[in-house]
A and B are shown apart, each in its own frame.
Chain A
Amino acid sequence: MTTDLLATSADTWRDRAADPPAVPPELEPPGRVGLRARNRALWQRHDLRRQRAEAVYDASRNPVRGWPVSGNRAVLAFFADLVRERKRSFVLMVVLNALAAGSALVVPRLLGSLVNRVDTQGAAATGLDALALAVIGVVVLQALFTFGAQRTSTHFGQDLLASAREHVVRTILRLPVGRVEGASTGDLVTRVTRDVGTMARSVQWGVPRLLISLMTVVLSVVAMLLNSLVLAMPALVVFALCTPAVRTYLRRAPKAYITEGATYSRINTTLTETVEGSRTVEALGLSQARVRAGSDDIAVSAQAERYGMTLRNVLFAALNAAFQLPQVVTLVVGAYGYSRGWVDLGQITAALLYVVALAEPLDAVIGEVDRLQVGAASTSRLLGIAEVPPDREPGDRLPDGVELAAEDLRFAYREGHDVLHGVDLRLRTGERLAVVGPSGSGKSTLGRLLSGINRPRTGSARVGGVDLVDLPLEVLRTEVALVTQEHHVFIGSVRDNVVLAREDSPDDAVRQALAAVGGLSWVERLPEGLDTMIGSGRFSLTPAQAQQVALARLIIADPHTLVLDEATSLIDPRTARTLEGSMNSLLEGRTVVAIAHRLHTAHDADRIAVVLDGRIVELGSHDELLDLDGEYADLWHAWTS
């Protein structure tokens, strides 16, 4: 049977000497060749890098493993909803920004007319002081509007962001129990850190700034047209000429930036492994390999950076032309128009000021659209979490009694590969049942089905006559609890860390639970007792204390049946001695299924179930199984001889 497992070994083993380098040689610049060949090679590499970026982007949209990613439509709908909830502050923000942008545009007009008067009236010019005072008035107004606009934008952006991230965390806290228990959390961690960060930047700054810049651009164009049609049109045509370049850029840039981001997180991951595993690296002589892995990551990242850089350079070429040429055009057209008497000097001055001032908001619009697209990609990964379908719909039947019985349990993680082949098991109330068996035999899966984490493919696991998976979660948790080797201490107060299963527990209950596991004395010595903040970065607990907290949670949950998976691992050998009493008081008076690694657990149990290949092959007390002289007896003899 063991040889079967490695049957495909010859097909999948690879000679790594022939592994391609991290960066394909086609991406290296050619040696000494002519200018034209070099230019051609540059664009070929650019094209290749584009393909690589698109591959990275596609992979991020359709992850092979991990959680789903939602579509762009969902992102739009999500933000549209959030904006709709804040209609009033949104309107206020738009109005104030329009006022600020509008008043900013009046200033060049007034300056223009100042120039005009001097130009046309010469030394006889009057009202200059009044006009200057008017401009100052407008400037003061502009400053006030700017303040108001920024203020409402901040409120709006921060509020939107807070709602969005709280929504994401709420979604995570609703994820199906079965999926959470089975999947790796690495992908989720990336999403709540990196993707929330990216989303935050675009929501907080991107949305308001895009709005402001768009408004400024639109109003500037209007102002230019009002100032002088003749001067505005040619400049606007030049601006419009760069549209295709901008559109190409906006289509490609998000993928480039997402790829860059991915290469940097790759660099970080590799380095984190190297630092955290520095002892392993040293022991196995892997330093050289880790240094090379780091350099490879950097080489890949450099390619992504080169792609982004070339994209920007192409854009800059277009933008530089678009932003600077209108000055020349304005000058020439202005001179012609002036000689014909179509425009006056004030209009030319104002037009010049407008043209120069338009570059900034236009630039900002492109930048923010860019940022928003990257933010949208992150948001779609965040919203994807919500697309995991729920794995149960609680019925309204409540269990009648505490007896747990399993019938004909079958279960498969991959279709067609059952890990359990029809297990029947009836727990006797108050008994200790030890489940032993080799890894991969299905004993952990059995534990999950017995605690209602997963729905069996066929058969049923029922408590008091009701399917475990049809119980509301809060009821299920007080019936059966699955205890694994994890004993995470959350960032929060001691109370928060204990009351999990019954969140409205009074302090007395919390104290009793802690006292039962022998943890009350140290908790009371803490500076703020139950209110002391613990967890990562706060007051840190010893391993024994952390485990007492984990046990106290179960006392609060007070289920009549406990399924202990690798329960001996829950108790760290270093703390085993101090925690024996705590563990005993938890198990007291409950039905216990212990999925055991250590044979002494089995020895002490009322009954032992030996699981082999997804079936219970032996079931009985220690002495009965020894008499049977089967699998268990063999193991026991190996253990004790």
Chain B
Amino acid sequence: MQDYPPRIATFFTGTDDAPTPDPDTRSPLAFLRWILGQQKALIALSSLCYALWFLPMTLGPWIFGRAVDEGIVGGDEAALLGWAALLLAVVVVGGVFGIVSHTLVVRSWLVALYGALEMVTRKVAQMGHVLPRRSPTGEVLSVASSDSDEFGALTEILARTVGQLVSYLTVAFIVLTMSWQLGLLTLVAAPVLVGAALPLLRPLHRRQQLERSRTSDLTSLATDIVAGLRILRGIGGEQTFGANYARQSQSARRAGVAAGIWQAVVEAVGVLLSGIFLVALVWLGTRQVLDGTLSVGQLITFLGYGLFMVGPIRTFFEFAQKSTRSLVSARKAVAIFDQQPPWRDPAEPVVLDGTAPLHDAASGLTVQPGVLTVVVSAVPEQSAALADRLGRYLPADTEPVPLADDEGAKGRAARRSRAERAAERARIAALDEERVRREWGVTLGGVDLSRARLDDVRRHVLVSDTTSQLFAGTLQDAVDPHARLTREQAEEALRIASAEDVYDALPEGWQGQLDERGRGLSGGQRQRVVLARAIAADAPVLVLVEPTSAVDAHTEARIAARVAEARRGRTTVVTTVSPLWLHHADRVVLLHDGTVVAEGRHADLLSDHEGYRRVVTRELDEEEPAR
């Protein structure tokens, strides 16, 4: 039987784990079936234990009634003690299985929850940079943070529903054998009671939804204030945004009150109806006692069941609600898990040679091996696009398709928009596949990158672009994420990137903790640690996009010199317009409209090429903020 955390090794097979089966993503329903099917035995067992846990409620009133009849009214002490002992036994069994079923249900809940979390991580790892092109990252994260919990809840409610169903049927049997009229009343009343509250639930849910959306607006307002706090405290605006928050807070309060009042209505109606039912039961019961068709003990039994029956019915409705919710969640999960990376290993992969020249057909750029090439372009996007091509990355030129339904969309409209989104996702996926199957247009040593395995490309060509991110962990983890370096190599990488001040600022040195995404470091510090990491990776071909845009001129000059020195003998491409880099370049290439228009050494181009001079010194003669 499964235990938590479950072992999941699906989608991403880069680790040594033996792969586990992929989830069924043919439809949301199939996915839910797959989740439940994964822990069939566990759910069956917890259903059984639930039924045993409910035993005191199922049998208690009956035993109590018999004890009253025989023991108390009948005055038979032995019978009384017998029934009391039975009641005690039932209570003890119930107590023990309460604990067992709680243990089992926590287990099945967490197996589902952790399993879904693990699958999201592995899907992200498998898809890499392709996933954010297709699905909004926020929604991918919400599948992990909220939808995964719905799957856990589904396993619990399923087991509880089965357990309650067993109880309900048992009670039905008992009451029908005692008095068919009262038995029928008891059995029918419970669904009627819960059903009567149903029409009230719809408006309640609408109001609760409004409250939730107001509250989440409020949260984003607070996050926004904190994100811009430096500006608010530096320049001002505390009153305006404080007042905006207060206004939103009041509107969330009103929505909350509206929902609360409906909740009060629902509860009051519940109290009224179940009270009336109880009275009706007792009143009818007393009549039957007077007739002599029912004993007093049996009346007490009915009273007990009257209180109990609402429980199972509530559970059944909860089951309906939660399974709808998990279906919505399953729809989002399937939209992610169903995606496949576009890459296919070529039938006969060619092994790349990192010491060969790199050629990009689209721009006409040829990068000579073993030297530092600086690519200059007046339009930074064009050099970024070039870097993407050199590294075989799909450009971020798509609009990610939302996973969740629009708020308020219902019925046919929702289904149509869902179908449209699925089609759009499929279109992007088909486009991606088409794009990667073709010749890529970049060759390393004459071999088109599409003819090598993707991980071979990644090993040979490292592109560190402006979105490069640091991860939470120690400084040592940040510079040496693979734990492959010696201390001297890591120190050297920090020195080359001129990032020793980051080390110095952390009292724990290499073990100093960096916050997530390197928050807490200045932009310049972050950029230099990223650079140190890229240098330390020691790739045969290194492509750096604007590596020092947030670094001051002093430091930039130092970095340029050190990188040029350290990378000597290996292929390095840097895109920048800073003269401090150009100064150290072995070759400089000028891009115009995305194609190479000039190449040579910096000094020569500066004196000979008008266009080059304009791009590199543009800032000197055109942008004169300080004059």
Contacts and interface: CB of A to CB of B under 8 A. Distances in A.
B369 interface: no
Contacts of B165: none
A404 interface: no
Interface stretch (B167-175, B424-432, B438-446, B494-502): B494-502
Contact of B230 (A276, A280, A352, A486): A486
B67 A335 contact: yes
B177 interface: no
Given A151-B260, A189-B227, A600-B623, A438 B491 contact: no
A169 B242 contact: yes
Max chain B C-beta neighbours (<10 A), residue from A328, A453, A583: A328
The secondary-structure label for the interface of chain A is: helix
Interface string B198-242: 000000000000000001001111111111111111111111111
Nearest to A153: B260
Interface string B489-509: 011001100101101100011
Contacts of B619: 598, 600
A604 B99 contact: no
A339 B500 CA distance: 90
B128 A279 contact: yes
Q: How large is the interface on A (under 10, 10 to 19, 20 to 34, 35 or more residues)?
A: 35 or more
Contacts of A501: 235-237
Max chain B C-beta neighbours (<10 A), residue from A166, A175, A268, A269: A166
B583 A638 contact: yes
Interface residues of B, number: 178
B219 A196 contact: yes
A482 interface: yes
B552 A597 contact: yes
B268 A172 contact: no
B468 A280 contact: yes
Given A275-B124, A490-B241, A295 B264 contact: no
A331 B143 CA distance: 52
Contacts of B106: 305, 309
Interface in A466-500: 473-474, 477, 481-482, 484-486, 488, 490-492, 496, 499-500
Interface in A57-110: 104, 107
A542 interface: no
Given A5-B503, A6-B494, A154-B261, A136 B236 contact: no
B121 A345 contact: no
Interface string A99-135: 0000010010001001101110011010011001001
B370 interface: no
Contacts of A280: 467-469
B580 A638 contact: yes
A575 to B, nearest CB: 11
Interface in B547-584: 549-558, 579-580, 583
Interface stretch (A156-164, A422-430, A515-523): A156-164
Nearest to A594: B626
Interface in B355-384: 380-381
A619 interface: no
B229 A175 contact: yes
Interface in B255-278: 256-257, 260-261, 263-265, 267-269, 271-272, 275-276, 278
A184 B519 contact: yes
B276 A136 contact: yes
Nearest to A559: B235
A316 B99 contact: yes
A143 B267 CA distance: 8
Contacts of B191: none
Given A283-B464, A635-B554, A186 B516 contact: yes
Interface string A143-185: 1101101110111011101100110011011110100110011
Contacts of A592: 626
18 contacts: A5-B503, A9-B503, A14-B510, A139-B278, A155-B257, A166-B249, A173-B229, A181-B230, A274-B124, A274-B125, A277-B471, A278-B129, A281-B125, A285-B455, A324-B94, A335-B77, A356-B304, A574-B381
Q: 3 smallest A-B Cβ distances: which pairs?
A: A154-B260, A12-B509, A139-B275
